[in-house]
Structures are given as structure tokens and as C-alpha cells.
Amino acid sequence: MKKNGKNGNSGNTVTGSLENLSREELIALVKDLSQRRKFGLVWEDKPEEVAELCEEKLPVLKEVVERHIPRKGLGVRDEGRGTRGEKQGGMPPCQKTHPSSLPPHPSLLPDDGSNLPTHLIIEGDNYHSLSVLNYTHPGKVDVIYIDPPYNTGAKDWMYNNDYVEKDDAYRHSKWLSFMEKRLVLAKNLLKETGFLICTIDANELCTLGLLLNDIFGENNRLGIVTVLHNPKGRNFTRWFSANSEYMLVYAKNANNAAFNEIAIDEDIKASFDLTEIDGRKYRLEPFMRSRTETLRENKPKFWYPIYVSDDLLEITRRKKSGFHEVYPIASTGKEATWINLPETFDEKVLLGWFVAKRENGKIQIYRKLYEQQILKNVWTDKKYQSEFNGTNLLKEIIGNNDFPYPKSLYAVLDILKITCPRPCLKSLGQGVVSQPSVILDFFAGSGTTGHAVLELNASDGGHRQFILCTNNENGIAENVTYPRIKKVIEGYADKEGIPAEVRYFQTEFVEKDKEEGVTDAVRYEMVDRSTDMLKIRENTFTLVERKVNPRRRQFEIYTNVARTKYTAVIYDTSAIEAAKSKIAAVVNGLPVAIYIFTLGDDSYDGDFDAPNWRVEPLPERILQVYRRLFRGK
Ligand SMILES: C[S@@+](CC[C@H](N)C(=O)[O-])C[C@H]1O[C@@H](n2cnc3c(N)ncnc32)[C@H](O)[C@@H]1O
């Protein structure tokens, strides 16, 4: 990628007279030219007002408390855990070799609320929201799903408050400048195991591909999925009538990332009709192979006895008294073979992957096949059509379709099913993964991604948190995103609600001093106005203690839903001792993050050395992040 300077000139001019350049300038020019890529993306970096604003003002967040949606009940639907009310399959047949000490699936446990997420909607330009998230969520996001403006030239997108028209000579440069800034900020938020999914149509497919290759690395591009979102296509087009669009899927680091083994095709999914106690779906397949090429005479190593207890619960290769000896003998009487070599069988039997059944007086061995599907990169299922599961669905939920082109709920749901961590065993022996995961959409529009996360949580008892960022262009945040999410939580038409908590924030700014930048007064104001950011960072929103004196706030203490952790903010250093004893009394040994005002970068390490106490100076740590993002300004 090569991006030219703000005026459209590269740093060194080749067009100027070379004779007039000094030796140093010539060396710099040769270096610059030799470092330029031979292949890639070139555009002119077009200055953007919202980004330049951050040279004068520092973004913070402010909660709109009237828009808080509190949780009613816990996160799993009463009638079963299915998205559309499907019941869970019955308990699977158990075998003694199955590790009986496995903890139950988290959604089956009485939930104390400690892992229940508080979902966030952030209204404002996403350049500012992403800047704030660089402080609150660096390396904490599992999946980013975005559906940016496609830059069609049909008044679908504004740059510096002007619609970018089709004949704008800088149309692509403006879009690339806009996207690059945001994608770079967004990448910082991803976990090493995380994914970014970006939808696009043909207008910017090629430029976006090169841009993402540059930011994420071509090696981390996992695929481009074509989605048939509008089979009818559009009338009156001169050439092709586009009826599909694309999802570009990247890993932050393909070596660390993994797709979930899951079936998204309904027919394939239905064939996995049994459910483990930890929630994984599976089906049974015969463990014997009896085609000619797999007979004993051709594969002698795959012929061995398996011993099964009379109650069929214990299966082993060790000969045990009273156990039935089972060989792979086909119904024709021919000596066949087992699917696995003896050593592989020994590994799998420990994981509980075999089931024995008595059929027609004989014992048959089956192996479990867990839910998975070969994922194709062309998605044509009807459920992905945006007219039915986007536009019409939105109308059903909020009563109007003022918002153009929402995505099909199922297109988002399915890519999240593949990429989001699941609240069950990754593999046996690794323990239950019930950590809350985070899904971010910073072009949230009508909130389809938030809706999909709620559905996904309802279907498997997961604790995924969504963060939706959107501007309020044409009132979208307040008239579409927020009402949609509220309705999905509270129920709409004949759909039962999905219990969840949401908090709504707006971006605001702390103005720097025009002459001196970040003065002491700016630091004071920053601390006063960053409490909501700290609550988000720590996921502790409930106030338990506040001390004020007539002059200023002294300290506040917040906790999470389950009161298992705390955040203390000390605004006034003269109140440190009082704050310390109050914190000790309130937290009672539980973890606490203590944010303490300082004009410098004093870490206060020695002052707060109790176990489970973490101390961070404010506002310096926020300023450090902003200095890095806004190039030290
Ligand atoms: C294509 S739509 C996303 C639609 C969404 N996927 C859905 O299913 O509803 C893009 C959205 O991004 C929002 N947007 C555009 N530029 C933005 C910016 N700089 N900051 C925040 N939101 C922005 C627009 O208001 C628009 O709602």
C-alpha cells in the first residue's frame, strides 16, 4: 500500500528539478523510491475533519441513562434453548469411559450473573468510538463484523459532511482514507485469536481487498464469501445485474485462530440429532467398514477385538472378564475392519467417542461424529436474502423500514456461529469455555449484529457481549438501532424477548488548551469525564459508594452484576486514605481496579499493595493511548 501525502504529493517530488536537490535530498529520494512497493494500492490521503478534531479535542463517553435497558431474568429462554424455540435434544447415551467429572454446560447452571454481559451501544462517529475502545478494549475483541458504506456514489456515504458523488475524482481515495484510519484502530482491539469480517459489493471490492491485505497480511485472509442476498437482482442495469455481495474474512493471526466446527446448513445440522451434556451436537455412525477394499485381508491392522461390558457402558481394547468380545464382522459374515487403528481407538475411547448397542442379538459399535460442515464460500440459502430477513424483519420489529438495506439476520448469525467462541468445550479436557466474548460492529446501522448476538446467546446460553457503534445520521441510532435492540430484548409481535442488559453511550470531547495542549486543567476535566469509560473497561456499572465534599468528588466505587469485582475511582488525592479504608471494607478481598488521579504518571504502587488490588494512574494512561493514536499530538 502506498498512500500519498495530504496534498496529493508524495514526501519527495520526482517531478521537481533533480539538479536542485542536495546530496541528502537525493539519497532520501532514492531510499523512498527503492522502498516503494512494486505492486499494491495507491491513493491520496484526504484529510478528514473528524480525525483532525482529535488534535484539539480528546474523545470520552457519556452514558445516556434514560436509554439503559435493564435485564429482566437471566439469559436463557424458558422454553428451551433454541433460537426459534427448538427444544434441546435428549440426554445422550452415557458410557463409563466418558469423563464423568465434566462440568455441565454453563447454560444449565444456575447463573450467578458474574459472566452476564452488559451490551453497549455507542452513538458518535466511529473514529472517536474506536479511539475510546483503544483504551477500554485493546486486544479484547473476539470478532469484528462490519458492513461499511459501499461507496456506490448514490448518496450512501458522507465525507466531511458532503455526500461523495459518483463523479468525484477522489471518490476512492476518500473512501480508502476513511476505511484505513478505522481499520487500523480496529485491528488493535482484536485478540490474537480474533477475526474481522467486512462486507462489500463490487464498487470497492478490489480496493478493500488490497487494503485489508496490507493491514492484516495476505496470509491472514481466510476467504471471500459470495452471498446471494438479492436473487432477483436489479432491473435496468446495462451490464450485469448484481445479485450478490461479498464478505471478506481475515484472522488477526491465522496461526492462532480457528473456526468453530459447526453446521450452518439446516439439512446437515438436522443430521446431528444427539447432544452431549456440554451442548455439542453429534450423530452416530457405524465403526465398521465392510467394502471390499476395507476387508480384513486388505487392511489386517484394522482388525482387532473390542471388549464391551454387559451393560454396554464400558468399551475398551483390554480383555476383561465378563466382557463381550466384538470383532468387525459384516452381516454377510465377511471379516471386515474397524475405521481406526488400535492406537487411535485407544485415544478416542478415552474421550468417550464410542457407543455400543445391542441389535438383533449382536453388539454393534458406533462412533460419534461431532457437528461440523465443510464451509463453502458461496452462500445461496434463502435465509441470506436481505429483503426477507433484513428489510421485512426490521419492519416487523420496529414498525417501519426507514433504514435502507439492513443485512439478513441469518447472514450475520451464521458468520458469527463460525467465528465467535462457543460457551462449551473446545475439546475434551480443556474445561468449559464460559468466558464472555466480545463482538464489535462499528458500522452498526439497524443493529443486525446486536440482534444476531442476542439470538446466538439465547440459542446456547453463551455470554457474548456486543458493542455497536453507529453515528446518528438521519436519526438512525435513536430511531432504529436502539428501538430494534430494545424490542428484541423485550419481545415483538409474537416473539418472546431475549433477556439482556444494554447501556447507551454518546461520544463527547474534552477540549485541549489552544496554546498549551494538555494542561493541568485539561487533566482534571479528563478525569472527571472519563468515569463512564472506566465502567465500560471494567464492566462494573453499579455504584456502591460515593464520597463528595463541597469542592469536588472524592471517590466512587462501582461493582458488577454479581458483585464479584469492583472499580474505584479516586478523583481527589487528599482523599486517598479515606478511599483506601472504604475500598478495603467494601471489596472484602475481591478484585478491585483502582484508578487514581495524578497530574503526572505516578503509579502509587507502594500505596496500594493489598492482594487483588490493581492501580492505574489517570488520566495519563488514557493520554498515552491517544498520543499513540493521534500521532503524538
Ligand atoms: C451499510 S450500513 C450498515 C447496516 C447494518 N449492517 C445493518 O444490517 O443494519 C452502514 C452504517 O454505518 C453508519 N456510518 C457511516 N459512517 C459512519 C461513521 N463514520 N461512524 C459511525 N457510523 C457510520 C451509517 O449511518 C450506516 O447506518
7: pLDDT strictly greater than 50: no
Instruction: Name the residue of 204, 471, 485, 505 whose CB sits within 8 Å of the most ligand 1 atoms, as the mutation to test its pocket.
Output: 471
Q: How confident is the model at residue 550 (pLDDT cuts 50, 70, 90)?
A: confident
Residues 6 or more apart whose CB falls under 8 angstroms from that of 183 comprise 196, 211, 212, 215
- The DSSP-derived string for 159-189 is ETTEE--TT-TTHHHHHHHHHHHHHHHHHTT
Half-sphere exposure for 21 (CA within 13 Å, toward CB)? 15
Q: How confident is the model at residue 435 (pLDDT cuts 50, 70, 90)?
A: low
432: pLDDT strictly greater than 50: no
81-95, 257-271, 386-400, 411-425: which has the highest mean pLDDT? Answer: 386-400
CA 391 from centre of chain: 24
- Joined together, the cell numbers standing for residue 469 give 457503534
Q: How far is the CA of 161 from the centre of ligand 1 (A)?
A: 15
For β-strands 221-227 and 378-379, DSSP reports them as: parallel
Q: How far is the CA of 198 from the centre of ligand 1 (A)?
A: 12
| Nearest of 284, 344, 357, 290 to residue 317 by alpha carbon | 344
77: pLDDT strictly greater than 60: no
Q: How confident is the model at residue 407 (pLDDT cuts 50, 70, 90)?
A: very high
12: pLDDT strictly greater than 90: no
What is the signed CA dihedral for 300, 303, 304, 305, rounded to 10 degrees?
Answer: -150
Q: How confident is the model at residue 13 (pLDDT cuts 50, 70, 90)?
A: very low
CA 413 from centre of chain: 12
User: What is the number of the ligand 1 atom nearest to the C-alpha of 448?
Assistant: 8
Instruction: Name the residue of 150, 175, 443, 481 whose CB sits within 8 Å of the most ligand 1 atoms, as the mutation to test its pocket.
Output: 443
Minimal-distance CA residue to ligand 1 atom 3: 445
User: What are the pocket residues of ligand 1 if the criterion is a CB atom closer than 6 Å to any ligand atom?
Assistant: 125-126, 147, 149, 406-407, 443, 445-446, 448, 469-471, 473, 476
Minimal-distance CA residue to ligand 1 atom 7: 406
Minimal-distance CA residue to ligand 1 atom 24: 445
Residue for grid cell 491472514: 220
Q: State the average pLDDT over residues 545-550.
A: 93
The answer to whether residues 324 and 357 touch, using CB atoms and an 8 Å cutoff, is no
Q: How confident is the model at residue 40 (pLDDT cuts 50, 70, 90)?
A: confident
Q: How far is the CA of 51 from the centre of ligand 1 (A)?
A: 17
The answer to whether residues 69 and 502 touch, using CB atoms and an 8 Å cutoff, is yes
Q: What is the CATH number of domain 57-92+111-266+384-508?
A: 3.40.50.150
Residue for grid cell 446456547: 460
61: pLDDT strictly greater than 80: yes
Give me the helices (H) in 367-447, please. Answer: 386, 393-398, 409-419
293: pLDDT strictly greater than 60: yes
- The DSSP-derived string for 526-585 is HHHT-HHHHHHHHT--EEEEEEE-SSSEEEEEEE-TTS--EEEEE--GGGHHHHHHHHHH
Q: How far is the CA of 201 from the centre of ligand 1 (A)?
A: 15
DSSP code of 116? -
Q: How far is the CA of 450 from the centre of ligand 1 (A)?
A: 13
What is the sign of the dihedral through the CA atoms of 278, 283, 284 and 289? Answer: negative
Q: How far is the CA of 444 from the centre of ligand 1 (A)?
A: 5
Phi, psi of 29 (to 5 degrees): -65, -45
Minimal-distance CA residue to ligand 1 atom 4: 445
16: pLDDT strictly greater than 70: no
User: Backbone dihedral region of 475: left (phi > 0), alpha (psi from -120 to 50 degrees) or beta?
Assistant: left
The answer to whether residues 350 and 336 touch, using CB atoms and an 8 Å cutoff, is no
Q: How many CB atoms lie within 10 A of CB 628?
A: 11
Phi, psi of 60 (to 5 degrees): -135, 175
Q: What is the reported pLDDT for 8?
A: 39
Q: How confident is the model at residue 39 (pLDDT cuts 50, 70, 90)?
A: confident
Half-sphere exposure for 604 (CA within 13 Å, toward CB)? 23
Task: Provide the 3-class DSSP secondary structure of residue 13.
Answer: coil
- Angle between the N-to-C axes of helices 620-629 and 520-528, in degrees from 0 to 180, rounded to the nearest 10: 100
Residue for grid cell 486543567: 521
Q: What is the mean pLDDT of the chain?
A: 88
Q: What is the reported pLDDT for 156?
A: 83
Distances (CA, A) of 106 to 109, 279, 384, 461: 5, 9, 30, 7
Please state the domain extents for the chain. 2-39, 57-92+111-266+384-508, 281-370, 532-629
**Residues constituting the chain:** 633
- Interatomic CA distance for residues 221 and 259, integer angstroms: 13
Predicted confidence (pLDDT) per residue in 325-383, tens digit: 999 999 999 999 999 999 999 999 999 999 999 999 999 999 999 988 889 999 999 99
- Interatomic CA distance for residues 498 and 489, integer angstroms: 5
Q: How far is the CA of 148 from the centre of ligand 1 (A)?
A: 6
Q: State the average pLDDT over residues 463-467.
A: 95
For β-strands 158-159 and 162-163, DSSP reports them as: antiparallel
Q: State the average pLDDT over residues 43-61.
A: 94
Q: How confident is the model at residue 236 (pLDDT cuts 50, 70, 90)?
A: confident
Q: State the average pLDDT over residues 283-310.
A: 95
Q: What is the reported pLDDT for 552?
A: 86
Q: How confident is the model at residue 113 (pLDDT cuts 50, 70, 90)?
A: low
Q: What is the reported pLDDT for 116?
A: 84
User: What is the number of the ligand 1 atom nearest to the C-alpha of 390?
Assistant: 8
- Interatomic CA distance for residues 250 and 52, integer angstroms: 29
DSSP code of 316? E
Q: What is the reported pLDDT for 279?
A: 75
The answer to whether residues 57 and 507 touch, using CB atoms and an 8 Å cutoff, is no
Predicted confidence (pLDDT) per residue in 553-593, tens digit: 999 999 998 899 999 999 999 999 999 999 999 999 999 99
Q: What is the reported pLDDT for 1?
A: 59
- Joined together, the cell numbers standing for residue 421 give 467462541
100-104, 114-118, 152-156: which has the highest mean pLDDT? Answer: 152-156
The percent of residues above 90 in pLDDT, for the chain, comes to: 72
Predicted confidence (pLDDT) per residue in 474-514, tens digit: 999 999 999 999 999 999 999 999 999 999 999 999 999 99
Minimal-distance CA residue to ligand 1 atom 26: 445
Question: Which of 150-164, 412-426, 488-502, 578-592 is least confident?
Answer: 412-426
Q: State the average pLDDT over residues 77-94.
A: 30
- The DSSP-derived string for 16-75 is S-GGGS-HHHHHHHHHHHHHS-SSS-EEE----HHHHGGGTEEEEEEE-GGG-B---S-S
- Interatomic CA distance for residues 5 and 14, integer angstroms: 14
**Where are the strands (E) in 91-161, listed by range?**
118-123, 141-146, 158-159
9: pLDDT strictly greater than 50: no
- Interatomic CA distance for residues 205 and 248, integer angstroms: 9
